[in-house]
């Protein structure tokens, strides 16, 4: 079910106020395109929406918490009712390390799982119901190369991205017979607000506009896995294949996220 970019007339993107979500919104924006964008920062989201409108797109921008199941379901349904959705990109996500004390660790871990897993479910499940009913549509879930093998620097982040990856891979097989496409996006380090706070070296750090181009091309071709850059992909594959004791030792010496 390969598609040209122009086949997507209504695109919904979460986490559109910065990073990959912002870049995708700006790149998809154009005449005859409807964008439904959500984010957590009103000022940044409004700025993204303004640029998209200047490029000719019709834009609905909403400040929403993706962990709010009822609010997300209502928004997705409203946007579907306005103009049928063609592509839904579940992009919203957060990251953090364990913090300095157990209280921090518990609170951060629960919040990361809520945003990165529940937030994806709250975005995809209502849209998936519409797509299945009309036997048409495409879903993209943003995972990460961090989901290929757990490391000590950001255990909750890696675990949530692994969950998104495996769920998306399963959905792709389950929904293919209903003509609904599913792509799992697994980026490495991409320039964004999330990576700007990292104080450790980030190999193969990629400009966000280049990441957006790779993602859009992969979605248009309905690729099951859109993983990049390839040297980082090779590294995480190698680490995942190592004996557990060796992979665990390597994981313990990698830098931790603040």
Domains detected in the chain: 5-253 (3.40.50.720)
pLDDT digits (tens, 9 = 90+) for 8-26: 999 999 999 999 999 999 9
Contact at 8 Å (CB) between 208 and 190?
A: yes
Angle, CA 133 vertex, CA 132 and CA 139 arms, to 5°: 30
- Pairing label, strands 87-90, 137-142: parallel
Contact at 8 Å (CB) between 98 and 104?
A: yes
pTM score above 0.75:
yes
Summarize the confidence of residues 186-194 as an average pLDDT: 77
- Compare 99 and 71 and report the one with higher pLDDT: 71
pLDDT at residue 97, as a whole number: 63
pLDDT digits (tens, 9 = 90+) for 213-240: 999 999 999 999 999 987 777 877 777 7
Give residue 249's Cα distance to chain centre. 29
Computed over its alpha carbons, how large is the radius of gyration of the chain? 18
Positions marked active-site: 157
């Amino acid at each position: 079910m390969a598609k040209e970019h122009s086949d997507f007339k209504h695109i919904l993107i979460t986490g559109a106020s910065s990073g990959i979500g912002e870049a995708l919104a700006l790149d998809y924006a154009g005449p005859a395109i409807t964008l439904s964008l959500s984010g957590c920062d009103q000022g940044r989201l409004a700025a993204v929406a303004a640029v998209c409108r200047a490029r000719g797109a019709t834009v609905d921008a909403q400040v929403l918490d993706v962990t709010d199941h009822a609010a997300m379901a209502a928004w997705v349904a409203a946007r579907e009712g306005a103009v049928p959705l063609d592509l839904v990109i579940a992009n919203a996500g957060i990251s953090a390390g364990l913090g300095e004390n157990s209280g921090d660790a518990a609170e951060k871990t629960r919040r990361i799982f809520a945003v990165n897993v529940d937030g994806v479910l709250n975005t995809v499940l209502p849209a998936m119901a519409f797509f299945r009913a009309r036997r048409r549509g495409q879903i993209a879930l943003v995972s990460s190369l961090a989901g290929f093998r757990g490391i000590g620097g950001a255990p909750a982040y890696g675990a949530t991205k692994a969950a998104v990856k495996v769920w998306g891979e399963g959905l792709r097989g389950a929904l293919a017979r209903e003509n609904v496409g599913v792509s799992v996006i697994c980026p490495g380090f991409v320039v964004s607000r999330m990576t700007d706070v990292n104080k450790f070296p980030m190999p193969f750090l990629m400009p966000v506009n280049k990441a957006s181009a790779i993602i859009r091309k992969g979605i248009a071709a309905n690729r099951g896995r859109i993983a990049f850059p390839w040297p980082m992909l090779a590294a995480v594959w190698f680490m995942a294949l190592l004996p557990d004791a060796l992979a665990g030792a390597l994981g313990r010496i990698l830098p931790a996220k603040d």
